[in-house]
Structure 1
Amino acid sequence: MTVGDVDNLANGFDPVVMLTDWDVGTTETLPDGRTLRTFHVDAEDKEIEIAPGVFFPAWTFNGRVPGPALRAKEGDRIRVVFRNFGSHPHSMHFHGIHSARMDGVNGTPGMIGPGEEFIYEFDAKPFGCHLYHCHALPLKRHMAKGMYGAFVVDPDPEKHPDLADVARSRLLGTAENANWQELVMVMNAFDTNFDDENEFYAANTVAFAYMNTPIRIEKNRPVRVYLINAVEFDPINSFHLHGNFFDYYNQGTTLTPTLRTVDLITQCQGERGILEFSFAEHEPGLYMFHAHQAEFTELGWMANFDVVEA
């Protein structure tokens, strides 16, 4: 492990807080009765500390890497006010269903230059665990510099009557959802010498963050992890849970598992999914999880759950 502590205050973000720090925007009701949900996202250049004493010149959304974890409900009208305070043209490309005008790639509207503003607007669909990222060229550089974040769309139980209870358990703000311990983890890495090879790996940016501060889990409440792979320069990443197994929902777009009772999944860049598991029958203690590429674990992508009695 690394020696020493990262200055989270100077960074402007704390990996422990990031786990549950959902940005739900501001809401108003449209004439047709639907919810308009507005988010504000700024691009800015910022040096961040990714390991004790190791600083990286990042390009960020809202001053953090990963960017804010945006969360909405299926069917909401989404409005994202994007301002570019960075030194390069940027955009926001959302994984979801939308028009070409809202795709954030070269063309209309294309790239948003330094000092410019653009408003993205689309409906929140399909439900699932998605992401957004800058789509400016060279794409590998904008991704490697930190321009990505989680975009989660909760299912609307009324649209899924056959599995309404499951849908309610995913819908933020419901009693069913409050029973779950939900965490968002964006797996990422950093090329500190710009040779297209990563020197540090992590979940939520800071190497070994959850070894130094294990994630507290109450054993009698189920766990749901929204997992996204944003690692550049490596073809796959993975998540392995020690001493337990989980159900996996690839892309998060189904209400029934795509894999059941597994302890390891792999993801390509941009791939994501939802993991659900429980420690109800386990003794309290530290349970490790990490990438199952040994190089990744030794360079920072290793963590612990601290399972405790309620």
Structure 2
Amino acid sequence: MNHTAPTYAAGLAVLVLTLAACGEREPPARPIAPAPAVSTPATAAADDAYDVTKMDFKTPPAVLSSERHTGPFASGDALSLGALLKPLQPAQVKEIRLDTTHKIIEIAPGVKFSAWTFGDQVPGPAVRARVGDRIKFTMTNRSDEPAPGVQMTAAPMMHSMDFHAAMVSPQDKYRSIAPGQTISFEFTLNYPGVFMYHCGTPMVLEHIASGMYGMVVVEPRGGYPTKVDREYTVVQSEFYTRPDPTKRKLDGQPLHVLDNDRLRSKQPNYTVFNGRYNGMVDVPLQAKPGERVRLFVLNVGPSNTSSFHVVGTIFDRVWMDGNPDNQFRGMQTVLLGSSSGAIVEFIIPEAGSYVMVDHHFANAAQGAVGLIAAGGPGGDPEHHNIPATATPDNAQAVAGKLAFESKCLACHSIGGGDKLGPDLLGTTQRHDDLWLARWLKSPEEMLKTDAKAKAMLEKWKIAMPNQGLSDEEVKQYLAYFKWADAHVKKP
């Protein structure tokens, strides 16, 4: 006889009656939260600023002609020729021209360099536009035109243009053109950022190292999320130079040409901001206390890394590659590989002279230094090197001057008075060449036995450090000291 089914049925009936009797005493049920909205492919695409279906990849073929342009080397409302970045122009179609030239530029005091350029300057003019804008670009290869007053530039050659901000067929748009030819092409900007442009003709390394590069700033469609008082561009690059083997000169100064051995071993003579050794020390960027400054920073290399820093403030916002979606807050330095860019924003906290520097200090010693002048006193020479004298007239003395300004200005001057160590004006009259050479080469050894060295240590209390100078570098220092003693007036 089976008792399981009746027993189960009776128990179930009791349970139902019990629940019914207690129903009025139960707390009210919690409201059910609505289910989260599910993004369909259509709504997700509508919210995506990088929806490729809305990007413009359609570009007509590049147009190549033999029509030579003879007007300005650079033109277009979207171009800025210096560090001050012009406001965004409203026209959605931006026509720009950047012709190529070969010319002599001065990359450091007394250092004349045979450069290749876009727009007849190094770096080339900055381009400013916005996502969705159409760029119509034209370039004539004018490398066969002699620069005014100069007959000694490099031989004419093929050149091209490579825009990192574009999405186009390189074989069509970035082709090399011969001297006298003109190429035109267009493209739409699809991504915001700080982008590099450069010559893409082999050997690309040589063309970039010779000066063929510049910056493209592409704003987001809705603009930047912050408002600033100042906007500047800072382009870091390297120069690899040697005196011209044929000993050519310009205005009495030795001509310098590209040193391919240094170039391939990544050993630059100069690492600079905006094309010149200490260029923004000589002409500082301007700001005021309390202002918010936005710097568009680009390291074009061609081979080394930058560690960009501003002494005296902290980067409130850093947008890597210049895209606000790639945001960091409160950074002290920004590490940029070759062709990497960033936007950095910071507050000028009080009156002062704020030093921009590559915190790879070997690069700073080679000229990667600038100033933001905000109403304070001059900058600290321990962070940068203010030129101490006029420019020598021979290559060896020029090299010695630059070495002195990069290594010695914290302790010494030339005609500017005593500092931590003595003013060195007249040093070649107080000491002979042999003594100076030994002192520069191994000061710690001379302090053991030489009476003059011991007397200087007794007076100044700070031992001369061994700089590890080569014999050639010692000769350069001596050449500069002799030149200064013959040309610099005593205060």
Note whether the superposition's TM-score is higher than 0.5.
Answer: yes
Amino acid at match of 1:185: V
Alpha-carbon distance, 1:129 to partner: 1.2
Q: Within 2, Cα distance between the matches of 1:206 and 1:149? A: 14
Change (3 A) 1:95 1:308: same
Cα deviation 1:106-136 (Å, max 9, x = unaligned)? 5666211111111120002212211211111
State the match for 1:241 in structure 2.
310
Give the distance between the partners of 2:205 and 2:82, measured in 1 at CA: 24
| Higher relative contact order (CA closer than 8 Å, sequence separation 6+) | 1
Aligned to 1:155: 220
Superposition pairs for residues 118-267 of structure 1, below 5 Å? 118-157=183-222, 166=225, 169=226, 176=227, 179-193=228-242, 194=259, 195=261, 196=263, 197-234=267-304, 236-246=305-315, 247-255=317-325, 258-267=327-336
- Whether contact under 8 Å (1:25, 1:38) holds in the other structure is no
- Structure 1 distance, partners of 2:140, 2:87, is 17
Choose 195-204 or 55-64, whichever is displaced more.
195-204
Classify 1:26/1:223 alpha carbon distance in 2 versus 1 (closer, same or farther; 3 Å).
Answer: closer
Q: CA deviation at 1:21?
A: 4.7
1:45 alignment counterpart:
102
Aligned CA distance change for structure 1 residues 22 and 117 (closer, same or farther; 3 Å): farther
How far apart are residue 298 of structure 1 and its match? 1.1
CA apart distance, 1:270? 0.4
Question: What one-letter code is carried by the residue in structure 2 that aligns with 1:186?
Answer: V
C-alpha distance in 1 between matches for 2:129 and 2:269: 34
**Alpha-carbon offset, residue 296 of structure 1:** 1.0
Q: Which residue of the partner structure matches residue 20 of structure 1?
A: 84
Question: 1 CA distance for matches of 2:224 and 2:341?
Answer: 23
Q: Deviations over 1:278-297 (max 9, x none)?
A: 11xx2211121201112111
In the alignment, what sits opposite 2:111?
A: 54
Q: Which of 134, 147, 155 pairs up with 1:77?
A: 134
Q: Distance in 2 between matches of 1:130 and 1:216?
A: 24
Query: How high is the TM-score relative to the length of structure 1?
Result: 0.79
What SS does the corresponding residue of 1:143 show, helix, strand or coil?
helix
For the 8 Å contact 1:23–1:70, the answer to whether it is kept is no
- TM-score calculated relative to the size of structure 2: 0.51
Please say if residues 22 and 69 of structure 1, whose CA atoms lie closer than 8 Å, have aligned partners that are also in contact. no
CA drift at 1:243: 1.7
Quote the residue 1:272 is aligned against.
341
The reply on whether 1:291 has 2:358 as its aligned counterpart is yes
CA distance in 2, matches of 1:283, 1:36: 41
Amino acid of the structure 1 residue aligned with 2:324: T
Q: What displacement does 1:25 show?
A: 8.2
Structure 2 counterpart of 1:126, one-letter code:
Y
CA distance in 2: counterparts of 1:231 and 1:293, whole angstroms: 14
Match of 2:375 in 1: 308
CA contact (8 A) 1:82 1:120 kept: no
Deviations 1:252-274 (A, max 9, x none): 1224x522101111111100010
Structure 1 gap segments, 5+ residues each:
1-11, 28-34, 158-163, 170-175
Aligned 8 A contact 1:210 1:304 in 2: yes
The amino acid across from 1:57 in the alignment is S
Are 2:306 and 2:360, in contact at CA under 8 Å, matched by a contact in 1?
A: yes
Letter in 1 for 2:125: P
Change (3 A) 1:239 1:108: closer
RMSD: 2.4
Partner Cα distance (2:173, 2:133) in 1: 24
Match of 1:89 in 2: 158
State the one-letter code of the partner of 2:343. I
Identity over aligned pairs, percent: 28
The 1-side partners of 2:142 and 2:90 are apart by 22
CA contact (8 A) 2:81 2:124 kept: no
Correspondences of 1:92-131 after superposition (within 5 Å): 92-100=161-169, 103=170, 110-131=175-196
Kept in 2: contact 1:22–1:70 (CA 8 A): no
CA distance in 1, matches of 2:90, 2:123: 21
Name the CA shift for 1:26/1:264 in 2 (closer, same or farther; >3 Å): closer
Between the aligned partners of 1:212 and 1:147, the Cα distance in structure 2 is 23
Q: Distance in 1 between matches of 2:87 and 2:295?
A: 16
| SS of 1:230 mapped into structure 2 | strand
Distance 1:76 1:231 in 2: 28
Preserved CA contact (<8 Å) 1:24 1:70: no
Name the structure with the higher strand share.
1
Shift in Å at residue 22 of structure 1? 4.1
Question: 1:94 deviation in Å?
Answer: 0.8
Distance 1:22 1:146, change over 3 A: farther
Offset of residue 241 of structure 1: 1.5
Q: 1:270 to 1:109 in 2, by over 3 A?
A: closer
Letter in 2 for 1:231: G
How many residues are matched? 264
